[in-house]
Structure 1
Amino acid sequence: MTYYYILATYLIFYCILHSIMADDVIMNKIYYKWWYRGFFVIISTVLLVPAVIIYSKIKSEYFFNPPLAIKIILYLINIAALLFGYYASKCYDNDEFLGIKQIREYFKKGVTEVNHHKKLIVKGALKYVRHPYYFAGIVLLWSRPLKVKDLLVNIIFTLYLILGAINEERKLIKYYGEEYINYKKEVPMLIPRFFRFRE
């Protein structure tokens, strides 16, 4: 049980730190510096390594190990979530998301700060759900056979993604105001609505 406590504590620490680093109010002006996004992505990735190591040390029984037919259905759902995540990636500037664009523009043009005043995107996956990556992530977490240790990880990360989406909403309302409030009325936050979006 010791490793379970260590894993839970570390994941909660990771989520709190990640939230702080992703908050433009807390990080203030540093958040918009050209180097910050790349730094954030690297730190976020590196800090997951200890969690993977701790997770690998836990010997765990299955909590949910369905028959083969159900496993096939779950894996198909998993693939669908991956495809939806890929579809969602077309809505975003992925170079900017990873911090590559900011670094490139700094060295090519001397741009030192990110322009965060951008047009609200309401196309592709964003027509159906406001946070498509979070939705895909939650589906990927749960659409598979689960060991007890997976249950712990999934609960923590699912709560984190939901709270993260709520916090991100605050920032988006701050940036886009009434335009985003109207968008919220049309499109759900985490569960896609594929057939009711009004063009």
Structure 2
Amino acid sequence: MSRILILAYGIFSYATFLGVFLYAIGFLGNIFVPNSIDAEPTSSVWTALAINVGLLGLFAVQHSVMARPAFKKMWTKIVPEPAERATYVLFSNLAMIALFALWRPMGGMIWEVSDEPWNAIIMATYFVGWGILFYATCLINHFDLFGLRQVWLHFQRKPYTRLEFREPGLYSHVRHPIYVGWLMIFWATPVMTMAHLLFCLMTTAYILIAIRLEERDLVDAIGDDYRSYRKRVPMLMPRFGKKPRPQARKAELRS
């Protein structure tokens, strides 16, 4: 594959991500989209349950398997190495698009908060979660995380260099601010139906499993420096206060 095609492929993958990101805000927040997570049910509860569990399982398997170093090593025998991350992002996008298109609302109100100011506070928390999520990706190099840096360096005929392991901003207070953002997004909702609760429970369980897998890979890649980081900085509950800032170390830190 030529350098221009790989660059175009990476740009397409990233553009798809941006569309999915914006649609997800509407889908999970029940705003501006036709089939949101808490829409009126269109099928039986058991049919909806089976479909939704399958969609969430598909995303979890794709997201976890393709992120593992052993899979990447095998996968790059088929996909050009500079396009590996963009391919991972594209497959994640496709899994999310399938979820948006095929999701089945289930009805059954768990809670509904319509009184002010509580509704506004919950929605503000929801949008803060999206802000934390996006900001956290920028702290560890947003474009590397989504594959654009890799295809751009390849286009310029420059070798890919791994990112330095640092603890910038939020990462000095919590090890996984991206997942903190996701948990805020999932649970900060004024409307919680059965389908939404299923989504929250399954994605929260996935996050807790994914953290274990990711941290195992990071310990293998970084060693004692990451073990020390794991001891000093909490996993999901931020701890604020003065901390000594460690020197940067060469390593790859990506979810």
What TM-score comes out, normalization by structure 2 length? 0.70
Structure 2 counterpart SS, 1:188: coil
List alignment gaps of at least 5 residues for structure 1: none
Aligned residues: 195
Structure 2 counterpart SS, 1:135: helix
Structure 2 counterparts to residues 42-121 of structure 1, below 5 A: 42-55=90-103, 57-68=104-115, 69-109=117-157, 111=159, 114-116=160-162, 118-121=163-166
**Do the aligned partners of residues 162 and 108 (structure 1) sit closer, same or farther apart at CA in structure 2, a change above 3 Å counting?**
same
Q: Aligned AA for 1:184?
A: R
**Do the aligned partners of residues 110 and 122 (structure 1) sit closer, same or farther apart at CA in structure 2, a change above 3 Å counting?**
closer
**2-side partners of 1:151 and 1:143: how far apart?**
11
Q: Which protein has the bigger helix share?
A: 1
> After superposition, what is the alpha-carbon deviation per residue over 1:14-58, rounded to whole angstroms, capped at 9, x for unaligned?
211221111112332546911110011011101212211222x43
Structure 2 counterpart of 1:148:
194
Structure 1 counterpart of 2:251:
none
The yes-or-no answer on 1:132 pairing with 2:132 is no
Alignment root-mean-square deviation, CA: 2.0
Structure 2 counterpart SS, 1:90: helix
**2-side partners of 1:63 and 1:196: how far apart?**
41
CA contact (8 A) 2:49 2:106 kept: no
Q: Aligned AA for 2:234?
A: P
**2-side partners of 1:151 and 1:197: how far apart?**
37
1:33 pairs, out of 81, 93, 114, with 81
**Do the aligned partners of residues 128 and 15 (structure 1) sit closer, same or farther apart at CA in structure 2, a change above 3 Å counting?**
same
CA contact (8 A) 1:87 1:125 kept: no
Shift of 1:179: 0.8
List alignment gaps of at least 5 residues for structure 2: 1-45, 246-255
More deviation, 35-44/6-15: 6-15
Structure 2 counterparts to residues 156-195 of structure 1, below 5 A: 156-195=202-241
Q: Percent identity?
A: 22
